[in-house]
Amino acid sequence: MPDITGLEIHGLEVRYGPVEAVRGVTLRAEPGTITAILGANGAGKSSLMKAISGLVPATAGRITLDGDDITRLPPHERARRGLSHALEGRRLFHRMTVEENLKVAWDFRNRGGNFRAVADRVYEQFPMLAPRRQTPAGMLSGGQQQMVILSAALIHEPRYLLLDEPSLGLAPVIVQQIFGFIESVCRERGTTILLCEQVAAIALRVAHSGCVLRRGQVVRGGPAVELAADPALSAAYLGG
């Protein structure tokens, strides 16, 4: 069992040719907490998350997970160590049913176990998915798709969960439900969550701490209650 010291990022840089998307980001996600990564469109939030899960290479800096340097590990190896990434933009197999999408996520890490019990737990958590288990994911509402994405990302009980803009395009009532679920995952399972959001107010309601990215750099950080109480901050950087 590794030491549970959290996710630490030090001096991280991501470049796309001449574009410096992430410039020297240092932050720590404390075990069992939610950390919000805030910032406007193009601030570098998605690039930071992709560098953490290994989908884009870090051009400089270091990422450690429970004390182990994972900076150069391939994505599947990071997943094996308990890191799961739910990408922005409803990445589902749209022609496949809800249940087939869950099965693909389950089979991705072929560990045996009882898929049926896991799928039934998903339908318990999100009862509105139960009658839609044979519905193609592309025919679901945006909120229902987000429920499938979250369920797929959590299917192997990751210790670390990266969520990219889970509120994107959803009605306020659904956003509340989704964020209530995210909060309960952290509280009940002890999952450490990193949450990217443009809409700061939503993320700071569930987060313990947060930081603000601007043009790839951290310009502010601290406890979520402090960030939420700072009107200048929301006016200056965050929008929404």
Ligand X SMILES: Nc1ncnc2c1ncn2[C@@H]1O[C@H](COP(=O)(O)OP(=O)(O)OP(=O)(O)O)[C@@H](O)[C@H]1O
Nearer to ligand X, 18 or 231 (CB): 18
134 lies in the site for ligand X, by CB under 6 A = no
Which of 42, 82, 136, 143: binder of ligand X (CB under 6 A)? 42
Nearer to ligand X, 17 or 127 (CB): 17
Q: Is the sign of the CA dihedral 223, 31, 237, 228 positive or negative?
A: negative
Question: Whole-angstrom Cα distance, residue 138 to residue 179?
Answer: 22
CA dihedral 141, 172, 92, 82 (to 10 degrees): -140
Question: Whole-angstrom Cα distance, residue 42 to residue 170?
Answer: 20
Q: Shortest gap between Cβ of 136 and ligand X (angstroms)?
A: 26
Sole residue written with tokens 């313990």: 208
Q: Shortest gap between Cβ of 198 and ligand X (angstroms)?
A: 6
Stretch that binds ligand X, among 41-49, 174-182, 199-207, 227-235 (CB under 6 A): 41-49
35 lies in the site for ligand X, by CB under 6 A = no
Q: Which residues contact 41 (CB under 8 A, 6 or more apart)?
A: 198, 239
Phi, psi of 234 (to 5 degrees): -65, -35
Question: Which residues between 44 and 73 bind ligand X (CB under 6 A)?
Answer: 44-47
Residue 57 per-residue DSSP state: -
Residue 129 per-residue DSSP state: G
State the binding string over 69-108 for ligand X (x if CB under 6 A, else -): -------------------x--------------------
Phi, psi of 120 (to 5 degrees): -65, -35
Which of 6, 39, 166, 221: binder of ligand X (CB under 6 A)? 39
41 lies in the site for ligand X, by CB under 6 A = yes
> How many residues at the interface with ligand X, by CB under 6 A?
13
**Residues in the site for ligand X, rule: CB under 6 A?**
16, 19, 21, 39, 41-47, 88, 198
